[in-house]
Every structure is written in structure tokens, then in C-alpha cells.
Amino acid sequence: MSHGTALVTGVGRGRGIAAGIALALASDGWDLTLNHWQPYDDRLGMDRGDDDPTAIADECRALGATVDLVPADLADTAAPESVVRQANTRGDLTALVLAHTEGVDSGILDTTVESWDRHYDVNVRANWLLIKAFAEQLPSSVQAAETGRIVALTSDHAAHNLPYGTSKGALDRLVVAAAIELADKGIRSNAINPGPIDTGWMDDDIRTFGIEQTPAGRLGTPRDTANLVAFLLSPAGGWITGQVLYSNGGFRTAQ
């Protein structure tokens, strides 16, 4: 029996964390709406197949999930409300997983205003509008049962990744605000910092450094993050809210 529908954003590449989350939730009995935006993945140029969103959706369907694909550029102010509306066509949207991002390396001296604005449009404003639209459509039965769920993926990058890192810091505050302001709507809201996960952006030096700095002795995988997302969306995770959770194998805690 389905838990309802979960909207997962940023499901553009098979190697991505969002794809791992989608597969885990499908295995856990969720129906899914998967958002993606191909021009962003084209611009990044990371490893992917000919049509990863369709392939991911098909894998989720094979696990028993009903899956809808909704492409949308979340930098468009009208897109978040439209995506939520499409995700709720069955009237059972109860979980929102914010896994999309704009992430282009630059620092204090070389970040352009255009890049800065797009990072904040996608990583902050779009998340606010998605959360707002999600809360506004939540059925009274879900509110009474306190089973509404929001989970966002964050990061602690900062230097040389300035607009990305600072916008993720703003996302953390947004998630905490949602936990407080939307509690009376039965919503639990948390962020996950997954640490370094090789989704196609690492070279050998970065992989070696990441492993050396992780007491668990390996890099994280999308499934590691997906396991925590699935728990937070479950009834068992309902006592956790307003948290920025580190699920990173102890990255950078080694003495």
C-alpha cells in the first residue's frame, strides 16, 4: 500500500543523489513525482545516459511506484507552484524532497552577479516557493495525522564555491523556519548534509582526500543519503524536525 506521493526535485542524472532517493522511496512504497531540468545537466556536462529521468522513472515503476515526470526550470517564479500542483493530481502529496541545486564553482573575486542571482533563485527562492505551495495544498487529514514531511539536501561548502555555499546556508534557515511555522499543519522539516558523495564531480585526488577525512573509511553513496530520507519520511522519523543532520560517515571529524 502506498504511503502517498513524494515530490523529489533534481532527478536529472542516474548517478545523482536524487536518483538514489527516488529508488529508495519507490522501494519503500511511495508513489513519486520527479522533477528535473535537462538544460542544467547539459550545462554541467557530467556523466549521464541519453535520457536518465525516463530511465530512473522506469526503474521506480518496476519497484511498484506510480511515477510522473515533471520537467521545470525552478528559477522561473511560476514553476514551483506548478510543479507542486502537478505532483498533487492524485490528492495525496504528503512529502517534499528538495534535492535540486544550482552549483557552479566560483569565489569572491570571480562570481558574476548573474551567477549569484541564479544560485539564489534556484537554491533559496524556489525552495521557499515549493515549501509554501506544498503547505498550502496539504489535506486536513495529513495535518491531523502530522505526517507531512519536508527534507532538503544542504552543504557546508563555502570558499571557492561561494554562491552555492552561501545559498545552502540560507536553505538551512528556511528549513528550520518551516519546522516552526508549519508545525501546526502537521509538517516535519529537516535538512541533510551528506558530505562528499561522488556523483561524477570528483577526480582521484578528491576521492583520496575524502576517504582519508572520513572515519568510516569510504565515500558516501546516494543510497546512504536515501536511507536517511526514507526514515525521516516514515512515521518513525516524526519526532525529528528543525534539524540540519550530518549523514557523512564522520567526514572531517578524524583527529
Q: In this structure, what CATH number is given to the domain that contains residue 178? A: 3.40.50.720
Residue 255 lies in a domain: no
Determine the pLDDT at residue 1: 60
Residue 153 has pLDDT above 80, yes or no: yes
- Residue 254, in any domain of the structure: no
Identify the weakest region by mean pLDDT among 25-29, 47-51, 92-96, 236-240: 47-51
Range 117-120 contact pairs with CB under 8 angstroms and sequence separation of 24 or more: 118/75, 119/163, 119/164, 119/166, 119/167, 120/163, 120/167, 120/170
Strand partners, 118: none
Q: Select the more confidently predicted residue: 142 or 69.
A: 69
DSSP state of 183: G
The rounded percent of the chain whose pLDDT value lies above 90 is 75
Amino acid 246: pLDDT: 94
Q: What is the pLDDT of residues 80-119, one digit of tens each?
A: 999 999 999 999 999 999 999 999 999 999 999 999 999 9
Q: Is residue 73 part of a domain?
A: yes
- pLDDT band of residue 189 (cuts 50, 70, 90) is very high
Q: What is the pLDDT of residue 253?
A: 62
Tally of domains in the chain:
1
Dihedral (Cα; 215, 216, 217, 218), 10-degree rounding: -130
* CA 249 to each of CA 27, 163, 193, 224, 228: distance values in angstroms, whole numbers, following the listed order: 24, 26, 11, 9, 13
- For the ranges 117-126, 130-139, 198-207, 230-239, the lowest mean pLDDT is seen at 198-207
117 within a domain of the structure (yes/no): yes
Report the pLDDT value the prediction gives residue 219, as an integer from 0 to 100: 86
Assess if residue 253 is contained within a domain. Answer: no
Extract the runs of DSSP E, i.e. beta strands, from the chain: 5-8, 31-36, 67-71, 93-98, 148-153, 187-193, 244-246
What integer best gives the mean pLDDT of the chain? 93
Q: How confident is the model at residue 254 (pLDDT cuts 50, 70, 90)?
A: very low
pLDDT of 121 > 60? The answer is yes
Of the ranges 22-26, 201-205, 215-219, which one carries the lowest mean pLDDT score?
201-205
Q: Span 225-235, mean pLDDT?
A: 97
C-alpha pair distances (Å), 163 with each of 56, 121, 233: 29, 11, 29
Kindly report the pTM of this predicted structure: 0.94
Asked if residue 252 belongs to a domain, the reply is no
| Domain span at 205 | 5-246
The answer to whether residue 135 sits within a structural domain is yes
Flag whether 115 is in a domain.
yes
